[in-house]
Structure formats: structure tokens, C-alpha cells
Amino acid sequence: MGKDTDTGELIQGTLEMLILKALMRGPLHGYAVAEWIQETSQQVLKVEEGALYPALHRLELRGLLSAKWGASENNRRAKFYQLTAEGRKRLDAESQRWARLSAAVAFVMQAP
Amino acid sequence: MAPALHAFLLRLKAMFAKRRLDRDMAEELEFHQVLLREKLLRQGVPLAEVDAATSRTFGNSARWHERLRELWQFPALEHLLRDTAFSLRMLRKSPGFTSVAVLTLGLGVGANMAIFSLINGLLLRPLPVPHSEELVVLRMEEGGAEPEYSFCTPFFRGLETESEVFANVFAYNGDTLLVRDGSGNEQVNGMLVSGQFFQALQTPPLLGRYLTTEDDRRGGNPMGLAVVISEHYWERRFNRDPGVVGKKLVIANTPFTVVGVMPKRFIGADPTQRPEIFAPLSADPIIDAPRNHIDAGTHAWWLTVVARLKPGVTLIQANAALEKVSGAVLHQTDDPAYMTGEERAHFHFAAESGSQGYAYARTLFRKPLLAMFSMCGGILLLACLNLASLSMARGGARERELATRLAMGASRSRLIHQLLVESLLIALAGTAAGLAAAPLVSRSLAAMLMSGSALNTGVYLDTNLDLRAFGFAALIAVAATILIGLLPALQATTGNLSDQIKEGQYASLAHQRQRILPRLLLASEVGLALVLVIGAGLLSTSLVRLFKSGAGFDPKGLVNIAFSMDKQDLQGDALMRLYQEIGEGLSHQPGVENVSFEFIVPLSHRGWNGGYQAPGHSSQLIYMNSVGPGYFATMRIPLQYGREFRWSDTNAAGLKIILNESAAQLLFPGQNALGGQVVYSRVKTSYEVVGVVGNSKYRDMRTLAPPIGYVPIMQDTQPKPSLTAVVRVDGPQTPLAGAARALAARLAPTIPPPVFTTVNEVLDRAMSAERLMALLSIYFAACALLVTGIGLYGTLAYATARRTSEIGIRMALGADRARVMGMVFRQNAAIAFTGAVAGLIAALLATRALSSFLYGTSTRDPLVLAASVLALGAVASAASLLPALRAARIEPMAAIRCE
């Protein structure tokens, strides 16, 4: 209860943005989302399952993602997530915000 | 779509597909684990360790599943369900507390709902007609304290055409119609209505048409006399025959044509009447023959007048318009003699809101009902206070449980939430119990109220629970929940956690005993109970005194048989001979000792009076009755001087009068009235006083015996008086009813069957309102004492149980049992004493409202006050003694060891 609440809060917003980004190129199931983030971040960002699925479901509830059951690459039934129009819009907004924020942090950190 | 709405809809969908959603979540998580496992295998983790490694990486799958599940639920609803389940478990664990709580609350709610549905039916419910808010009831102001609601025909006809502010003006009078039914006649509740009655009430007929101004003419419309019947009568008499329109009904021996049927929901403008036949007002001389309220002009005040305002017209405008026409209408009336100059100067018509129609019963029962309602409110408040203090005491006992729950991470608001759910459950159960009992109680209350003989038969009170009643019940439940739950919940969840968990059996509980709130609650409970007990004491003492005061005659074995002579042909002396024959016939029945006749039945709230004077003295108001020979012997009213009437006292023998003592003293102060002359001030006729009799009550039991003058029935000015036979019977009375009916059928076949009542019934009815109030207040007081006793006992028992070890230590240190008992007992004694003092003061203020209901009893009657305090003291002592005794029986060793 206590442990993952204060760090989770911080990660949650970012994690949601990363999930939206992962789904930008097409529908993926939860495992693939986690893998993509881990690989693309060159193994730096490791997505915990305990945070991943609640985040996916929250995004689905809010209408940013839609979910569909389909067959996976190894022919098992899997739940695929897909960006909705709303989700796409959100991703754009989040990307811009992130770019501004990271640039700002970079300015500060690079100050002599 | 807004995210919140999207989430709401998905969650709503999830509620109905819970199992599928659950399966999907499990499958999704499992799929992830499978892929993870494959990946680990690919990375070269040995087969033996791959399962452990998977679960280490993945974490607790059941927990993730639970978190997903929570996401898809409504958090508030889920909490509520969980709290409800938990509360139910907690309540089931303490069945004693729960059943006391539900029962006391049910009692309070039931009483309140019962009285409320009476108040609702009589005072609050609007008439079931369109735009009832436009209706106004008209009244007359004469400068006196009480406005007058009964109009005479000329006044009504003068107002009927008033169209400046009114869309319609109509009048009606509830009446009993004599309708031919096969060979005989039956009496049917009916209503005489003026021309605009139906038009104003805007309810379309079920069949045919309703009555219009065309019908409200002498002789009816050009086609003849018309009536409209109710759906109920259509069903009962005509078996719902669709061809009923056009059929004839013979009313008062005259054919009327049925022109329409009104639907069930239509009840006219008096919520306490259910007329079956509506007849035109102008048919009164036929229907009420030989009486004629129309030609009687300003001598018959028989109409209730209601109007419908034009849309947009306010009550103020209507009153202004009425004020303007009052003089003119008064001027038009042919007989100005009935009003004094002063009354005339103040006289004006006025209108008041009439959306609930007009009911005479209201003027009688408004005050008693409101008084009873406040008693009920007191009981309900008492029940809530009691539960609050009980659950506070219980909350004290539950402190450890609550503290543990707080310590384990429950937030205070969640805990209060759960405790409130607990009290909500109690409140709901109590309200449900009360609601279930209410219809029965209110129906019997209504029957008791309405049997008061001040009203005609056929008065009906609708006590059905409607939306308003249920709204009221909901209000009670919510208020009760908050009263019961919030205070104890707040109290129980404050305080230092670790202290409360540590303190096993609470060896030191100083902080607990010093708490002021629970004691305040209990003290106010005691005070409230005392107020109710004193109220009950006053009302029942007054009833006893009223009963003991006597009526002035002996009601035991006395029977009334009412004959209705309106619709037969005999009159004057011939009719008197018929009465004489009836009297003789009755006197030969077994057990009959005396028979006589009277016009006004004493204590029936009916009356007749006039100004009478001794020559040379001023006119006095004397109540009158006309009675037959042997009347005073039959009634056992003592004959002090002179003689009774004889059958020979006819008009030819000269007018005679018998006075009661107070009339004799009033008219002939300090003289012998016997042989004197009494003059009827209005027409200057002179009567010879032939007797003086004892005083007796006249209109009702409460009023002291007024001055009464008796005239012989043989000299009655009415052509066809309908008299009541009074029969003194020794032995069973019921056979007389059949004998009277047979006698009437033989001697006067055209009259309806005579109505049989015992005078004891009349007496009961005359005191019905008083008796009802006294009974109810005693019942409420008993409940109050019981509830207070339970409260005092319960809280002390809880408190003492928790002090077991403390008491054990005290005893081990040498306190003897008597001392321990005293210590426990004192705790409640202080509360009871404070409460009683406060209650006494409150009662002295509150019972003033009762003074108008009391007979010969002061609201500060020392006997009643002392007895009430004593009763309360006894209950409080008994309730406190038990826990004290239990405390005294504590074994010190066992008590200390159990720590």
C-alpha cells in the first residue's frame, strides 16, 4: 500500500505517456508494450507489470485506448491495445509537454 | 466523450459482466507470464528454476488482478457494499442491541407515521382535481374571534355571479338521501351541489355529462330533475351498466334522471366525504322535505362555499373584491333581523386557500392531531437519543476494535462512513418496521377519531400512505441515522490510538467517565420522558375528572331509538298520537321500565337556543329541548318542583315550559320559578313554568351544564318533528332494536328503520377525542419510560462491564459491596436527577399547550407532577439497580486475573 504510492504517482504520468507512444505505430498487447519500452530505452526503463496493467486499464477506462482480443504471434488469445483518436491527441500534447520540460531541465542542469 | 463519463459507462457495463471481465483479466495476466517464461527460457534460465524466476519477475499476480478489478468498480458503491456487509455482521454479533434499536425506532416511526398520515389525509393532501391551487374557500367575518364557514342560500346566490376575480363560485352540502331500492328505501350518502360545482372542479365525467347551472333550477332542467352518481354507486347499484345514463332513481319519492357517472378519483370538495349521488342544490325542498333550506333564507346556514380564482388572480385581489361586494350582498338579503348592528358593521366575506378543500373535521381535529404529533415527535426523538447514548456506550466498548482498524490504515472518514452505515441499517430497519405498522394504526386511529359524534356518519378519512408520507418517512430515517450515528462515530474515532490498544481491560478509565456528552444525552432523554409522562398524567387525570363529573342523567341501561318522520304524511297532533302509540308499544317490551321522547339528544353536539326572559327582566340565552311525558323519570334527572309533561299538554292547554335549576336561577334570581311566566324574546310568546329539574350537560361533556328550558313535544312548532325515543331498560338491550324496527314497520310503514344506540355509546363518543388523546399519551408515556429505562440500564451496564477490573481492585483494596453498589448507582442517579429537574421545567412550559384540552385540571397539578416524577424515579432506579447489583457481585480475584 504505502510503498508504491509516492514513486508511482511520478511514474504514472510518464508511464502513460510511454504507453501511448508505444502504441503509436499500431496495436500491441501488454507484454509487447513493456518489451518495446525496455528495448527502445536501451534497457534503462524497466516497466513493472504491477504498474503496466493498471496503467493500461486506466487509459482504456478513460477512452484513450481501445482494447480488442486477437491472436498473438504464437497463436494465443491476447488483449491488444490501440490508440483512439482521443489517445492520439493526448500523445501529441504529452510529447510537446515532455519536450518543453526536458529541455528546461537540460538548461538548468547544464548551467555552469 | 468526457473521460469521466466514458469511465462511468464502462464501469456500468462491467457491473453486469463481472465474471467475463474477471476471466479476461486473468487471461491477460497469464498471457504475459507465459511470454515472460518463454523469454527467460530463451535467455538460458534452467527449466527447474524458470517458474520461480517468472513469479519473481512478475510479482504477485493475484494482487495485480485485484488492483485491476478495483479499477473497474465504482469505488463509492464498492465501499458501501463492503460496509453494509460488515455492518450487518457487526449487528448480528450483538442481537440484543440491534433488536432494542430496531424496536424502539420502529415504535417511534410507527407512531409518527400513523399520526402523520392522519394529518396528511385531513390537513395536507390537495384535492384530486386539476389546478387545485386555484381553489379558495369563502368565509364570513363578523368581527368575532371565529370566522363562520356556513353560508345561507341568499348570501351564496349573491356571490355566485361574482366574476371579477372568480372563474367559478359553487356551494355544496353533504346530505343523506333516501333512495328507493326495490320495495323499501335505503339511505345513501349524497351531496347537494350548485350549478358551477362540476365546472369548477374540472373533472370530466366517466359517462354522460355532469350537472350544470341548467340543472340547478327549481324543478330541474327542461327535461326534469337530474343527478350524477359516483363510480362506486354505479358499480354497487347498477353493476356498471353502460346504459345507466337516462335511468331513473327515486329519491325522496321523486324520480330523478341519472345523467352521468363521476370517476372514482372524484370526491368533490370535502376530502372527508365520499358522496355517492350528486343532486342539484335547488332540489333541496324535494330531497330534504319537509325542511326547506332554500326558502328558509337567512335561517338556514347550511352551505360550504368554494370558488376557483381566475388564472393569475391572487388571494389578496380576491379578498379585496369580496370586501367590495360584501355590503351589497348583505343588503340584498330580505331578512336583516338576525344580525346585531355591530356584527353588521364588521361583516365581510373573505377567501382563504382551498387547495385541500374544506372539511369541518379539520376545525375539530387540527389541535388534537398536532398535539399528538408533537408527542410522537417526542417519542421519536427519545428513541434516537436513546440509541445514540447506547451506541456511544457500545462505541466505548468497541474502542479497541476501532483503534485497531485505524492503526491498520483505515482512514477516519472510512471508519465514520462504516459506523454511519451501521446506524443507517438500524434506521432503515426501524423505519420499515414503523411503516409496516403505520397503516393499521392510523386506520384504527382514524376510526376512533371519526366516531366522535360531532360528525355525521359517512365521514371518511383517507389515511393511505402517499408520496408525501413516504417522503416524511425518508426524512425520519435520515434524521434518525444522523442522530444515532454521527455523534457516537465522531466520539469513538477520536482519541489516542496506542493508549486504546494497550489498555487491555481498562484498569484506569478516568477519561471515559468524565465525558460529558453521553451523560448530557441521557439526561435529556430522562427530561424528555418526564415531559411525556407529565403530559399523559394531565390528560388522563382530566379524562377521569371529566368522566366523574357526570352528565346529570344516568346513562346506564338507557337506550336511544331515533325515528325519522320527514317522509311520511302524518303531522301535528296525529303524529303525536303515533309517537304515543310507539311509546306504549316500546313500554310493553321485556325489561323496559320507562319510555319517553326527546328532540335534541344530549351530548350529541347538536343544539338549539334562543333568548328568553321573565317579564320585566332582560333576555337570557337559554338552551332548549322538546321532550315527551315522563322524560325526567326516564333520564333520572331529579324533578325538584312541579310536575312532568303529560300527553294532554297540547297547544290547546296553553304553552308550558320546564326549566333546569340554572335556568330557573338565571331567569328568576332569588325567586320561586314555579308558576312563573317565561317569554320567548323574539316572538313574545309566553310559557308557564310547570316544573324545575336538576342540571344536566347539553352539547358535550366538557361544557358545564347550561341553563336549559324544556318544552313539550306536543307543542313543537315543527310540523313533523323527528324524535328520539329514550328507553330505560333493565337487562339486555339488543332485543329492543329488533322490537323497535318491527314496531315502526307496523305503525309507520313508510319511515326508514329507526336507528338504535345506547346512551353509553353516545357518552363514549362524546368523550372520544379526550379518551383517544389520553390513551395515546399513556401509551407514549409508557413507551418513553420503557425506552428511557433501557437506555439507562444499557449504558450503565456497558460502562460497568468495562470497569470490572477497576472494581475488582477497589474490592481487593477493601471497598465493601454496598459501597461499590452505591458508586455504580450514583452514576445514573446524578443523570436521572439532572434530567428530571430539566424535564420538570420543560414540562411546565410545554404543557401550557395542553391546557385547552384539559377538564378541571391545572397544567401544574401538583399530584400529577409528583406522581410523574415518582414513576420516572422508580423506572430509573430499577434500571440502575441491576448493573449496580451485578457490580457488587464481582469476585475481586477473578476480575483482576482476567486482565
Return the C-alpha cell found at B594. Answer: 320507562
> What's the pLDDT band for B196 if we cut at 50, 70, 90?
very high
- Kindly list the residues from chain A whose CB atom is less than 8 angstroms away from the CB atom of residue B20: none
Cβ separation A30–B32 shorter than 8 A: yes
Q: Comparing A91-100, B61-70, B372-381, which segment has the lowest mean pLDDT?
A: B61-70
Closest-CA distance, A50 to chain B, in angstroms, reads 6
Question: Does A61 lie at the interface with B, CB-CB under 8 angstroms?
Answer: yes
CA dist B791 and B803 (Å) reads 18
pLDDT in tens, B220-274: 888 889 999 999 999 999 999 999 999 999 998 899 999 999 999 999 999 888 8
Say how far apart CA B176 and CA B188 lie, in whole Å. 6
Q: With contact defined as beta carbons under 8 Å apart, do B238 and B207 qualify?
A: no
Q: How confident is residue B499, by pLDDT bands cut at 50, 70 and 90?
A: low
- Which residue reads 318522520 in cell numbers? B565
Q: State which residue of chain A sits closest to B55, comparing Cα positions.
A: A49
B894 or B244, which is more confident: B244
Q: Does B749 touch chain A (CB under 8 A)?
A: no
pLDDT, mean over chain B: 85
Distance CA B260, CA B244 (A): 8
Does B863 score more than 50 pLDDT? yes
Reported pTM:
0.71
Q: How confident is residue B850, by pLDDT bands cut at 50, 70 and 90?
A: confident
Min Cα–Cα distance to chain B from A61, Å: 5
Inter-chain residue contact B71 with A1, CB threshold 8 Å: no
Q: Of B7, B60, B68, which is closest to A62 when you measure between CB atoms?
A: B7
- Chain A residues touching residue B7 (CB < 8 angstroms): 61-63
Q: What is the pLDDT of residue B77?
A: 82
CA distance A31 to A11: 18
B605 touching A, CB under 8 A? Answer: no
Which of B66-80, B415-429, B492-506 is predicted least confidently? B492-506
Cell numbers 351541489 label which residue?
B193
Using a CB-CB distance cutoff of 8 angstroms, which residues of chain A are in contact with residue B28?
Answer: 29-30, 53, 78-79
- Dihedrals phi, psi of B528, to nearest 5 degrees: -60, -45
**How far is Cα B886 from Cα B586, in angstroms, rounded to an integer?**
70
The span from the CA of A99 to the CA of B315, in Å, is: 72
Residue B408, chain A, CB below 8 Å: the answer is: no
For A54, nearest residue in chain B (alpha carbons): B68
Does the structure show a pLDDT above 50 at B292?
yes
Query: Which string of b and e fits B280-314 if b means at least 16 CB within 10 Å?
Result: bbbbbbbbbeebebbebbbebbbbbbbbbbeeebe
Place of cell 311525558: B629
Q: Which residue of B7, B57, B63 is in closest CB contact with A61?
A: B7
Q: Which tens digit of pLDDT belongs to each residue from B325-357? A: 888 888 777 555 555 555 667 788 999 998 988
Handedness of CA A74, A75, A76, A80 (dihedral sign): positive
Q: What is the pLDDT confidence band of residue B458, given thresholds at 50, 70 and 90?
A: low
Query: Residue A85's closest chain B neighbor by CA?
Result: B1
Total residue length of chain B: 899
Q: What is the Cα Rg of chain A in Å?
A: 15
Quote the pLDDT of residue A5: 37
- Evaluated on CA atoms A4, A7, A9, A14, the torsion sign reads negative
| Cβ(B768)–Cβ(B448) below 8 Å | yes
Q: What does the domain layout of chain A look like in residue ranges?
A: 3-110
Picking from A50, A62, A79, the nearest residue to B28 by CB comes out as A79
Confidence at A27, pLDDT banded by 50, 70, 90: very high
Q: Can you tell me the ipTM of this complex?
A: 0.85
Residue B453: predicted pLDDT: 45
Number of inter-chain CB pairs under 8 A, A vs B: 66
| A19 Cα to chain B: minimum distance (Å) | 16
> CATH 1.10.10.10: does it fit domain A3-110?
yes
Angle subtended at Cα A90 by Cα A87 and Cα A95, rounded to the nearest 5 degrees: 125
Which residue is listed with cell 332548549?
A: B624
Taking CB atoms and an 8 Å limit, are B7 and A54 in contact across chains?
Answer: no
CA distances from B423 to B316, B414, B485, B803, B884 (A): 48, 14, 5, 26, 29
Separation of alpha carbons B300 and B297, rounded Å? 6
User: What's the average model confidence in pLDDT over A63-77?
Assistant: 87
Helix (H, G, I), strand (E, B) or coil at B753: coil
Q: What are phi and psi of B789, to 5 degrees?
A: -60, -45
HSE-up (13 A, CA, CB side) for residue B14: 21
Contact B24 A79 (CB under 8 A): yes
Nearest CA in chain A to B69: A54
Q: What is the pLDDT of residue B457?
A: 54
Instruction: Name residue, grid cell 502513460.
Output: A16
- Strand, helix or coil at B390? helix
Three-class secondary structure of residue B690 per DSSP: strand
Mean local confidence (pLDDT), B150-166? 90
Chain B contacts of A79, Cβ < 8 Å? 24, 27-28, 31
Q: What is the pLDDT of residues B505-534, one digit of tens each?
A: 444 444 454 567 778 888 999 999 999 999
| pLDDT score for A4 | 39
Asked whether B781 and B536 are in contact (CB, 8 A), the reply is yes
Instruction: Please report the pLDDT score of residue B91 as a whole number.
Output: 84
Find the closest chain B residue to A46 by CA distance.
Answer: B57
What is the Cα–Cα distance from B406 to B418, expressed in whole angstroms? 12
Contact (CB<8Å) B59/A79: no
For the stretch B844-865, what's the b/e string if a residue is b when 16 or more beta carbons lie within 10 angstroms of its beta carbon?
eebbeebeebbbebebebeebb
**Cα distance between residue B179 and residue B863, in whole Å:** 56
pLDDT for B780 beyond 80:
yes
Spatial separation of the C-alpha atoms in residues B52 and B49, rounded to whole Å? 5
Residue B597's φ and ψ, nearest 5 degrees, are -130, 155
* pLDDT higher at B137 or B291: B137
CA of A60 to nearest chain B CA: how many angstroms apart?
8
B517: amino acid identity, one letter: L
